């Protein structure tokens, strides 16, 4: 394994701070068990604990809630139901289609009907099971197939077209028709959902929430309590993982806790039990596809007709933009000439599926990669060659005056590095020799078959909703020269605070350890966007950089006045402020400036340039730039049982100029393994009643240390972002998740070794059972 250059554990901090592999700012505290999460905050005396009352029926009329038995349990104080909501019984979610608590109808097993409040969390959970629900069952829609038939949608279907897919299909030399089903994924953040609501004086509120979006938590709580937003302060120091699962879902918890706290006039903590978390909260959207692809003898795609059915669950939540992003990533790295995509946002009686790392992107990418693999098999070509021939490029399209460089939503791919990146990985992973070796192995071994695949990733960076692409930050310089930064982003383990501190340290030319990032707090940065879409550092890092720059400019102007030089002549570096004739320490300059009444703190604001996008036609430039990568994966399958193993992974990924290589590599590896879990062992199973029967670590299997191959290399593409982005870096949170599609494609490659060139129908996740089914054809 190539280990990033380690920052020495002891010794002087290098300068500049950015571009260096530094440990996560909380690493020492985390390792010592001294980093605090919401549940570690000392409880205020009188705090009550809540547990949710869950629907036991997928769809039905809620006729009665009998709480007598629960109220008689030891320690139980009260029960909170829809009637206790002070204001709007609907959540302030974008689509306005989710009740805070189910009232007259229940829409999935696990929907929250109310809360039991007790003195301890176990008392509350025990009593919640004693609440008797009278529910008259109604017909439930449990699959996308049923939803399509019933035209049961949470949002209207969306269609995207370029050219004439039907005509192109009709004239295509070759054709491939198929269906595919790809399962969802539970976030399985190690820290479950939690909120702690504390009433303050004069109907003001503090809410500690494990959330990616404190601003939305504030907005939702204020809305439910009928208050102005300024009366609610939300704080989040860190999350124990989130992966998109705490983008909207954390808001529910906070609203529930706040309603209970409002009714009982005391602090209320709500921490979901892991099983309840599975039952209540949304997951990655399961997708089903039906497609027809046309292609030429060289394997180049000429037509694509695609229907995507998105299982959204019972409400819209973020399903609209998730399904949109799936459409935006159906091309992945490839030029689609004549294409028609229909996207159905199906309403089913299951949990309301939500954001999850990749946000629909993976469900777009996997479909086109499946097609690439099957085209290669049909034509008996190497899948990598088919992929290379289909890449976006500057090649002219005869007779059109256009080039193969524009996406199906009309955005020119200006920063394309796909061909050189793939070629470099092809060499470094020794793909061609590996292919020969795999063929030789498979010819000689009847039981264990190997597979190999390289798949690329091109992932669009920016929130597709343009308005979210804004951020704010505060930089405070204290008179001792120490620096405190606060920004609108949240720390979920991804190292955002570390990167932002590195950026600010360099902007002020001070050592890294002089800069401290503090908890996300709605009273510091208002109206902040969710920390999502991989854009945390791009947005907040830039805003913090601007805030630091304002302070630096103030100081520079002050020093100019002292030394009689131009502001451009002042440099801030190594903890010093250098003018043409004097060198002062940063601390001395700060002190002097304070005595001279110079402002030592500032805000910073950033909005992403160049982006625009028409929501009705899904065309424009939704993304500021693309992040690229590719992975080469070798797997083996056991043809007797369908079991599989990932043996070798080589990754080449583009993070621009890395602000912190160790953190970026950590994101790449972590995303890959999480993606591998999605496509192999992580299977969500709903039974025929709509009950999620995989709702605990005993039945839902995320990867363990033993699943990670020893040969697992990650290299970074050596080129800064071609767009003007903070430090020349690129976003890294989500794009590498899709590198794991190489695992799925390698598995299909292995399965194909016993086939006859037919498409490999492998339902994802590729559990042993699904692999064995695919082997049977």
Segment 161-190, which members bind another protein (CB under 8 A)?
Answer: 187-190
Residues 460-479: x/- map of binding to another protein (CB under 8 A)?
--------------------
Binding test (CB under 8 A) with another protein, winner from 206, 712, 720, 754:
712
Binding test (CB under 8 A) with another protein, winner from 107, 494, 520, 729:
494
Q: Determine the interface stretch with another protein among 313-321, 330-338, 467-475, 703-711 (rule: CB under 8 A).
A: 703-711
Q: Say whether the peptide bond before residue 763 is cis (omega within 30 degrees of 0).
A: no
Site for another protein in 235-274 (CB under 8 A): 238-243, 273
Taking alpha carbons only, the member of 275, 326, 302 closest to residue 386 is 302
Task: In whole angstroms, give the CA distance from residue 314 to residue 245.
Answer: 17
Site for another protein in 731-770 (CB under 8 A): 767-769
- Smallest distance, another protein to C-beta of residue 451, A: 11
- Smallest distance, another protein to C-beta of residue 483, A: 22
Task: In whole angstroms, give the CA distance from residue 55 to residue 217.
Answer: 24
Nearer to another protein, 226 or 697 (CB): 697
Binding test (CB under 8 A) with another protein, winner from 2, 265, 380, 612:
2
- Smallest distance, another protein to C-beta of residue 227, A: 31
246-262 burial, b for 16+ CB within 10 Å, e for fewer?
Answer: bbbbbbbbbbbbbbbbb
9 contributes a contact to another protein by CB under 8 A: yes
- Smallest distance, another protein to C-beta of residue 363, A: 20
Nearer to another protein, 81 or 635 (CB): 635
Binding test (CB under 8 A) with another protein, winner from 629, 670, 728, 733:
670
Binding test (CB under 8 A) with another protein, winner from 500, 663, 760, 762:
663
Is residue 311 within 8 A of residue 348, CB to CB? The reply is yes
Give catalytic status of residue 734 as yes or no: yes
Binding test (CB under 8 A) with another protein, winner from 161, 424, 571, 591:
424
Q: Determine the interface stretch with another protein among 302-310, 321-329, 486-494, 512-520 (rule: CB under 8 A).
A: 486-494
538 contributes a contact to another protein by CB under 8 A: no
Task: In whole angstroms, give the CA distance from residue 661 to residue 658.
Answer: 5
Q: Determine the interface stretch with another protein among 61-69, 510-518, 611-619, 700-708 (rule: CB under 8 A).
A: 700-708
- Smallest distance, another protein to C-beta of residue 491, A: 8
Taking alpha carbons only, the member of 757, 767, 760, 455 closest to residue 638 is 767
Residue by residue, DSSP assigns 146-193 as HHHHHT-EEEEEEEEEES-HHHHHHH-SEEEEEEEEE--B----SSPP
Taking alpha carbons only, the member of 291, 401, 242, 369 closest to residue 733 is 242
421 token code pair: 């990146």
- Smallest distance, another protein to C-beta of residue 717, A: 12
Nearer to another protein, 33 or 64 (CB): 33
Taking alpha carbons only, the member of 655, 534, 525 closest to residue 603 is 525
98 contributes a contact to another protein by CB under 8 A: no
Rounded to a whole number, what is the distance in angstroms from the first to the last CA of the chain? 37
Binding test (CB under 8 A) with another protein, winner from 493, 509, 690, 735:
493
38 token code pair: 């919401």
Binding test (CB under 8 A) with another protein, winner from 697, 724, 758, 777:
697
Which residues, other chains included, contact 344 with Cβ-Cβ below 8 Å and sequence gap of 6+? 144, 147, 148, 153, 157, 307, 308, 309, 310
Taking alpha carbons only, the member of 347, 306, 320 closest to residue 144 is 347
Binding test (CB under 8 A) with another protein, winner from 11, 265, 399, 710:
710
Cα 59 to Cα 67, 111, 139, 190, 764, distances in angstroms: 21, 10, 7, 30, 27
Taking alpha carbons only, the member of 132, 129, 115, 127 closest to residue 75 is 127
514 contributes a contact to another protein by CB under 8 A: no
Site for another protein in 13-72 (CB under 8 A): 21, 23-24, 26-31, 33, 35, 37
Which residues, other chains included, contact 68 with Cβ-Cβ below 8 Å and sequence gap of 6+? none
Q: Residue 630 gets which letter from DSSP?
A: E
**Residues acting as catalytic residues:** 734
């Amino acid at each position: 394994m190539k280990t990033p250059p380690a920052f020495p554990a002891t010794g002087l901090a290098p300068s500049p701070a950015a571009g260096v592999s530094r440990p996560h700012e909380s690493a020492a505290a985390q390792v010592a068990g001294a980093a605090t999460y919401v549940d570690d905050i000392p409880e205020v005396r009188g705090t009550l604990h809540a547990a949710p009352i869950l629907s036991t029926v997928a769809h039905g009329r809620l006729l009665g809630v009998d709480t007598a038995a629960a109220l008689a349990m030891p320690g139980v104080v009260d029960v909170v139901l829809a009637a206790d909501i002070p204001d709007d019984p609907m959540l302030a979610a974008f689509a306005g289609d989710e009740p805070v608590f189910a009232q007259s109808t229940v829409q999935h097993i696990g929907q929250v009907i109310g809360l039991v409040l007790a003195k301890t969390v176990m008392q509350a959970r025990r009593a919640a099971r004693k609440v008797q629900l009278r529910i008259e069952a109604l017909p439930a829609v449990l699959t996308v197939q049923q939803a399509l038939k019933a035209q049961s949608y949470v949002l209207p279907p969306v269609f995207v077209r370029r050219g004439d897919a039907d005509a192109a299909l009709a004239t295509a030399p070759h054709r491939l028709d198929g269906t595919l089903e790809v399962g969802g994924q539970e976030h399985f953040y190690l820290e479950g959902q939690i909120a702690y609501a504390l009433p303050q004086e004069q109907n003001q509120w503090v809410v500690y929430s494990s959330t990616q979006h404190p601003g939305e938590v504030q907005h939702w709580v204020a809305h439910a309590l009928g208050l102005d937003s300024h009366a609610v302060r939300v704080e989040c120091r860190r999350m124990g993982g989130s992966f998109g699962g705490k983008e909207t879902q954390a808001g529910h918890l906070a609203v529930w806790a706040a309603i209970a706290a409002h009714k009982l006039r005391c602090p209320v903590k709500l921490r979901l039990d892991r099983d309840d978390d599975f039952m209540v909260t949304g997951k990655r959207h399961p997708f089903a596809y039906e497609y027809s692809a046309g292609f030429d003898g060289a394997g180049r795609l000429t037509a694509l007709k695609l229907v995507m059915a998105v299982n959204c669950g019972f409400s819209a939540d973020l399903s609209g933009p998730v399904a949109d992003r799936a459409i935006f990533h159906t091309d992945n790295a490839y030029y689609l000439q004549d294409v028609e995509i229909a996207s159905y946002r199906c309403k089913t009686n299951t949990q309301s599926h939500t954001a999850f790392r990749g946000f629909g992107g993976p469900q777009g990418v996997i479909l086109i990669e499946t097609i690439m693999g099957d085209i290669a098999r049909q034509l008996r070509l190497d899948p990598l060659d088919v992929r290379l021939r289909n890449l976006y490029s500057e090649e002219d399209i005869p007779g059109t005056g256009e080039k193969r460089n524009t996406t199906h939503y009309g955005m020119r791919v200006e920063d394309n590095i796909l061909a050189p990146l793939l070629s470099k990985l092809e060499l470094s992973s020794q793909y061609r020799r590996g292919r020969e070796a795999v063929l030789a192995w498979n010819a000689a071994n009847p039981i264990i078959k190997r597979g190999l695949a390289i798949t690329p990733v091109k992932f669009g960076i920016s929130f597709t909703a343009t308005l979210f692409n804004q951020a704010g930050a505060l930089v405070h310089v204290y008179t001792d020269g120490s620096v405190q930064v606060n920004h609108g982003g949240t720390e979920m383990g991804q190292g955002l605070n570390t990167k932002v501190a590195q950026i600010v340290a360099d902007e002020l030319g001070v050592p890294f350890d002089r800069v401290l990032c503090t908890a996300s707090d709605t009273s510091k940065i208002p109206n902040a966007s969710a920390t999502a879409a991989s854009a945390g550092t791009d947005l907040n890092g830039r805003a913090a950089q601007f805030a630091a720059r304002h302070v630096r400019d103030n100081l520079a102007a002050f020093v100019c006045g002292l030394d009689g030089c131009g502001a451009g002549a002042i440099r801030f570096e190594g903890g010093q402020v250098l003018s043409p004739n004097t060198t002062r320490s940063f601390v001395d300059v700060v002190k002097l400036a304070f005595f001279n009444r110079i402002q030592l703190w500032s805000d910073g604001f950033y909005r992403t340039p160049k982006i625009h996008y028409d929501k009705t036609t899904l065309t424009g430039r939704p993304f500021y730039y693309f992040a690229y990568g590719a992975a080469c994966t070798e797997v083996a399958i056991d043809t007797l049982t369908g079991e599989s193993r990932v043996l070798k992974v080589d990754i080449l990924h583009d993070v621009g100029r890395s602000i912190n290589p160790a953190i970026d590599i950590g994101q790449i590896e972590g995303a890959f393994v999480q993606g591998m879990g999605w496509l192999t062992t992580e299977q969500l199973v709903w039974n025929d009643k709509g009950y999620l029967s995989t709702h605990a670590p005993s039945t839902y299997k995320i990867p363990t240390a033993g699943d990670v191959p020893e040969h697992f290399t990650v290299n970074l593409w050596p080129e800064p972002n071609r767009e003007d982005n903070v430090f020349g870096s690129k976003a890294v949170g989500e794009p590498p998740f899709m590198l794991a599609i190489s695992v799925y494609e390698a598995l299909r490659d292995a399965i194909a070794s016993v086939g006859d060139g037919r498409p490999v129908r492998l339902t994802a996740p590729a559990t042993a059972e699904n692999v064995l089914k695919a082997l049977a054809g």
